[in-house]
């Protein structure tokens, strides 16, 4: 598996993400909103494995705070470490941008995501009652220091695509 940093002109990858969004979430990001967010500094990393795109993470890093907005691995590729790789790579990018803490919200019933976040050092800091709709559910707020202990990763630029190969 490898992680790629995506820019707003990479239409193949932004199309992959918007398709996966539509298949996964009741409030999917459209490709247009994704491209617009990338133009305004959002971070999008994709994971490639078995010769195809298998997951992505969307987030932001502004001043000393990072926020994780989405983390998705295609169903048939879950439990192989892709989610961990994506989140680790994102936290590294956020650290390079100066972030000292990372924040996220997760559905209270999403045991898979909560376990993954806890395994990378996120702590539960609060509950937002009935935050989600379709279906209605509480949000658990989580926060982690950057860098967590386990992260160590190098990045370089892929000369062919201009994308940075991160892992």
Ligand X SMILES: CC(C)(COP(=O)(O)OP(=O)(O)OC[C@H]1O[C@@H](n2cnc3c(N)ncnc32)[C@H](O)[C@@H]1OP(=O)(O)O)[C@@H](O)C(=O)NCCC(=O)NCCS
Interface residues toward ligand X, by CB under 6 A:
24, 71-73, 78-84, 106, 110-113, 115-116, 119
Active site residue 117: yes
Active site residue 105: yes
Nearer to ligand X, 135 or 159 (CB): 135
CA–CA separation, 143 and 59 (whole Å): 14
Nearer to ligand X, 115 or 127 (CB): 115
Annotated catalytic residue, options 21, 56, 93, 117: 117
Nearer to ligand X, 112 or 157 (CB): 112
Half-sphere exposure of 77 (CA within 13 A, CB side): 20
Annotated catalytic residue, options 105, 124, 131, 137: 105
For the annotated catalytic residues, the residue numbers are 105, 117
């Amino acid at each position: 598996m490898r992680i790629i940093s995506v820019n707003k002109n990479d239409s193949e990858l932004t199309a992959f993400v918007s398709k996966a969004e539509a298949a996964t979430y009741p409030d999917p990001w459209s490709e247009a909103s994704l491209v617009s967010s990338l133009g305004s500094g959002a971070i999008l990393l994709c994971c490639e494995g078995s010769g195809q795109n298998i997951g992505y993470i969307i987030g932001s890093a502004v001043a000393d705070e990072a926020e994780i907005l989405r983390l998705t691995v295609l169903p048939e590729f879950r439990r192989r470490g892709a989610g961990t790789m994506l989140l680790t790579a994102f936290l590294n990018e956020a650290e390079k941008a100066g972030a000292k803490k990372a924040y996220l919200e997760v559905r209270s019933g999403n045991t898979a995501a909560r376990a993954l976040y806890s395994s990378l050092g996120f702590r539960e800091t609060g509950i937002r009652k009935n935050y989600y709709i379709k279906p209605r559910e509480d949000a658990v707020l989580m926060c982690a220091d950057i860098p967590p202990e386990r992260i160590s990763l190098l990045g370089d630029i892929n000369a062919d695509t201009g994308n940075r190969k991160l892992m």
